[in-house]
Homo-oligomer: A and B are copies of this chain.
Amino acid sequence: MSSNIRVGIVGYGNLGRGVQQAIQQNPDMELVAIFTRRDPGPLAEETGVLTERLSDVEQYIGRIDVMILCGGSATDLPDQTPQLVKLFNTVDSFDTHAKIPDFYEKVNAAAQEGGKVGVISTGWDPGLFSMNRLLMQAVLPEGQDYTFWGTGVSQGHSDAIRRVPGVKAGVQYTVPVQAVIERIRSGETPQLSTREKHRRDCFVVAQEGADQEAVRRTITDMPDYFADYDTTVTFITEQELAAEHSGMPHGGFVIRSAVTGNGSKQIAEFGLKLDSNPEFTASVLIAYARAAYRLSNEGAVGAKTVFDIPLGYLSPKAAEVLRRELL
């Protein structure tokens, strides 16, 4: 008899695909079904996995231990998490930082109503980066911390480029300013403007006959997205875009520079360098799905964040093994 953790995937884009792959790396996990708002037929064929309409999800009550929600933060998760957490334990990567407090309250109320656990806002930021910000601040109260993102593809900024008239396709990389990171690593605690922390590099395929100089200016002058940054625009061919810019790398750093005692400098840093942003986020979701399952088995209910869950719950190994091998 299997004692695997039975999971479902809700939403099958890049993140959902990453979750399906990550389950292969975790032998204590078992994928029961994928739920979609699309026609499930073609998706079942594509994935080789039982695929159901999301509207039929209630049939799986009692047959799935944790639902891994792979929708977007803008329109999917604000509705899906509160609805589904009444029926299933859930884990999601809701990442609209400013709306997390409100989202937490809604998910918590629904989870309490359903007697389930809803782990919200996992991934790497929010998620692993948040954990490191908390840990570093708690240990080193007198200091300054910095978060840098990149080098990596920003979906929102890439979308913004593609809406510019004359642009056929394009991708935007957020690039942390290395010289500033080195200053912080060497013990400085500078006050930094937006422009000083990150650069934005755009690779654009122009439509035939488009005025490249006008396209460039429209991008670099775009408020909120680009105007506050040093932005480069490089025009490339569609072939170059496909060959060199189809990956989804990302990463970044959380660095805290602090003092203790009579001025001793203490610097802590956590960094990620990711070939695949969605596959990494998916891997974090899986670890927290394991935690949600265990918390629920222990009788916990309500919304939980990465701040609420002991690290031991993320590992498939028993506590005594962790103490022996990793402490």
Chain A residues in contact with chain B, CB under 8 A? 18, 21-22, 25-26, 97, 100-101, 104, 121, 126, 128, 130-135, 137-142, 185, 260-262, 264-276, 279-280, 282-284, 286-287, 290, 305-312, 314-316, 319-320, 322-324, 326-327
Q: A101-B324, A135-B311, A266-B279 are in contact. List 10 more A-B contacts (CB 8 A).
A: A22-B260, A131-B311, A260-B279, A265-B273, A266-B274, A269-B271, A269-B272, A307-B310, A308-B312, A309-B310
A25 and B142 in contact (CB under 8 A), knowing A134-B322, A324-B100? yes
- Check B314–A130 contact: CB distance below 8 A: no
Identify which of B26, B97, B121 contacts A141 (C-beta below 8 A). B26
- Check B327–A97 contact: CB distance below 8 A: yes
A138 and B261 in contact (CB under 8 A), knowing A133-B326, A269-B271, A307-B323? no
Q: Which of A185, A311, A322 has the most CB of B within 10 A?
A: A311
- Inside 8 A of A97's CB, which chain B residues have their CB? 327
CB-defined A-B contacts under 8 Å, sample of 27: A22-B260, A22-B261, A26-B141, A100-B324, A101-B320, A130-B326, A133-B326, A134-B322, A135-B311, A135-B314, A137-B315, A138-B314, A185-B273, A261-B279, A264-B274, A266-B273, A266-B275, A266-B276, A266-B283, A268-B270, A268-B271, A269-B270, A270-B270, A305-B323, A306-B311, A307-B310, A308-B312
- Inside 8 A of A322's CB, which chain B residues have their CB? 134, 307
- Check B319–A312 contact: CB distance below 8 A: no
- Check B261–A18 contact: CB distance below 8 A: yes
- Inside 8 A of A326's CB, which chain B residues have their CB? 130, 133-134, 137, 307
Identify which of B18, B126, B260 contacts A25 (C-beta below 8 A). B260
- Inside 8 A of A126's CB, which chain B residues have their CB? 327
How far is B137's CA from A119's CA once the two chains are assembled, in angstroms? 20
- Check B315–A311 contact: CB distance below 8 A: no
A323 and B270 in contact (CB under 8 A), knowing A260-B283, A280-B260, A314-B138? no
